[in-house]
């Protein structure tokens, strides 16, 4: 079994929104980034995987098991969801020991020291960044095989974000552990993600290896007159600005040879999202 998550023909229907149908495979040993604007369906997908909400149809397997699974091997960080604020980090340690068979108090306390989180102060006295760090280390301290993370680095300063990303990289070094990471901080994914799944309006737009996306797509910059002379087959999407046009292209090296006199920049995930969501398409 080479996939940690297998999703087949998944749909979740609401009155004004439908997720899917989605077919997604997430390999073991990878960090997979989940991107898309608010309301695209990312959190709905995560909640279906975690059995928090029931899908309308389709099948989800984790480590080859149906969704009615043992959550012992899954660590979770959901946006704006954690323990009551009267608790302390020490209280959380005691609670988790009674829930997870493999809870590691030593590892948890080592993480508290590493990130300077006080063990005996109520959560309500901690900063937003401290809260988020505590959520992450709690998710990692029972030796899960899979981390499912929704906005895990929001509210963290750049230095601490770097430390957290290092934790994630170390987590997958055994090539058996995996991470599904949904975030709006797309620059984080450019540093650590092996694969990118881009969801828009409930559908998968891209499901590609991160190096392929970042090295094979680009932005061609041209004037309105030059744009009208481009081969329309080379245009995935475009945005017209006051003085120029940004054109999303694929097969960067090929297009560079074809349009030698044009400026063609490498893409970022943020650029890709903006152009695919807000840009115009050639009919």
pLDDT confidence of residue 157: 87
Q: How far apart are CA 254 and CA 249, in angstroms?
A: 10
The total number of structural domains that make up the chain: 2
Domain of residue 229: give its range: 213-278
Domain ends where: 177, 201, 225? Answer: 201
Pairing of strands 57-62, 65-66: antiparallel
State the SS3 of the chain: CCEEEEEEEEEEECCCCEEEEEEEEEECCCEEEEECCCCCCHHHHHHHHCCCCCCCEEEEEECCEECCCCHHHEEEECCCCCCCCCCEHHHHHHHHHHHCCCCCHHHHHHHHHHCCCCCCCEHHHCCHHHHHHHHHHHHHCCCCCEEEEECCCCCCCHHHHHHHHHHHHHHCCCCCCEEEEECCCHHHHHHHCCEEEEEECCEEEEEEEHHHHHHHEEEEEECHHHHHCCCHHHCCEEEECCCCEEEEEECHHHHHHHCCCCEEEECCHHHHHHHHHHCECCC
Averaged pLDDT, groups of 10, the chain, 283 residues long: 88 92 93 93 92 89 73 85 88 94 96 94 90 92 95 86 91 92 93 95 93 93 93 94 92 92 93 94 79
> Same structural domain for residues 66 and 148?
yes
Which residue in 151, 147, 91 sits closest to 117, CA to CA?
91
> Same structural domain for residues 114 and 177?
yes
> Same structural domain for residues 37 and 127?
yes
> Same structural domain for residues 42 and 115?
yes
Q: Supply the CATH number for residue 34's domain.
A: 3.40.50.300
pLDDT confidence of residue 79: 75
pLDDT confidence of residue 155: 79
Residue 247 lies in a domain: yes
Strands of 237-240's sheet in order across: 237-240, 245-250, 217-222, 263-266
Residue 283 lies in a domain: no
pLDDT confidence of residue 248: 96
Q: How far apart are CA 19 and CA 80, in angstroms?
A: 22
> Same structural domain for residues 225 and 270?
yes
pLDDT confidence of residue 83: 84
> Same structural domain for residues 129 and 251?
no
> Same structural domain for residues 107 and 65?
yes
> Same structural domain for residues 185 and 250?
no
Q: How far apart are CA 22 and CA 250, in angstroms?
A: 24
Residue 50 lies in a domain: yes
> Same structural domain for residues 186 and 234?
no
Domain ends where: 140, 168, 201? Answer: 201
> Same structural domain for residues 167 and 96?
yes
Asked if residues 33 and 165 have their Cβ atoms less than 8 Å apart, the reply is: no
Tokens of 252: 């960067």
> Same structural domain for residues 125 and 105?
yes
Residue 240 lies in a domain: yes
> Same structural domain for residues 148 and 227?
no
Domain ends where: 201, 232, 250? Answer: 201
Residue 207 lies in a domain: no
């Amino acid at each position: 079994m080479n996939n940690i998550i297998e999703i087949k023909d998944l749909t979740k229907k609401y009155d004004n929104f439908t997720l899917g149908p989605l077919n997604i495979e997430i390999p073991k040993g990878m960090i997979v980034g989940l991107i898309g604007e608010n309301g695209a369906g990312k959190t709905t997908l995560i909640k279906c995987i975690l059995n928090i909400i029931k899908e309308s149809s389709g099948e989800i397997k984790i480590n080859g098991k149906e969704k009615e699974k043992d959550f012992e091997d899954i660590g979770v960080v959901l946006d704006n969801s954690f323990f009551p604020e009267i608790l302390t980090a020490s209280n959380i340690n005691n609670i988790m020991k009674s829930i997870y068979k493999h809870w590691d108090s030593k590892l948890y306390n080592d993480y508290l020291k590493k990130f300077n989180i006080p063990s005996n102060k109520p959560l309500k006295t901690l900063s937003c960044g401290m809260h988020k760090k505590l959520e992450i280390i709690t998710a990692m301290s029972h030796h899960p095989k899979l981390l499912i993370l929704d906005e895990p680095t929001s509210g963290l300063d750049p230095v601490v974000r770097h430390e957290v990303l290092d934790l994630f990289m170390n987590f997958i070094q055994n090539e058996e552990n995996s991470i599904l990471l949904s975030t709006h901080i797309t620059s984080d994914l450019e540093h650590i993600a092996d694969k990118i799944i881009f969801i828009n309006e409930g559908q998968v737009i891209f499901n590609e290896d991160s190096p392929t996306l970042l090295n094979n797509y680009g932005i061609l910059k041209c004037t309105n007159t030059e744009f009208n002379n481009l081969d329309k087959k080379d245009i995935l999407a475009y945005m017209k600005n006051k003085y120029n046009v940004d054109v999303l292209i694929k097969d960067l090296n090929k297009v560079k040879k074809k349009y030698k006199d044009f400026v063609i920049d490498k893409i970022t995930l943020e650029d890709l999202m903006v152009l695919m969501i807000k840009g115009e398409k050639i009919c």
